[in-house]
Amino acid sequence: MSKAAAVQLDLRGTPCPLNFIRSKLALEKLAPGAWLHVDLDAGEPEEMVASGLREAGHHVELERLEPGWVRLLICHGG
């Protein structure tokens, strides 16, 4: 399974729940099986977005990048 992103979002500095809403809206535009890469602040934003998208049925992986931010690799529809 290729993790090449169809769409990339930089949501660092975006507050909750706006970062979750923007991620979910971007996923709705993608075909099942497509990947979305979302850059977020570490901590609560990563936890809230990742858990919400997993609950919605998407596959979510986490990459720790620079201190203070992460990248979520999200596959639409799991």
- What structural domains does the chain harbor? 5-75 (3.30.110.40)
**Structure tokens belonging to residue 32:** 């099942």
Which parts of the chain are beta strand (E)? 5-10, 35-41, 59-64, 69-75
Give me the count of residues in the chain: 78
Report the predicted TM-score, pTM, of the whole model to 2 decimal places: 0.90
Q: How many helices (H) and strands (E) does the chain have?
A: 2, 4
- Give the three-class secondary structure for 7: strand
Q: How many CB atoms lie within 10 A of CB 23?
A: 26
Local confidence pLDDT in tens for the 78 residues of the chain:
567 767 899 999 999 999 999 999 999 999 999 999 999 999 999 999 999 999 999 999 999 988 999 999 999 996
Which parts of 3-42 are beta strand (E)? 5-10, 35-41
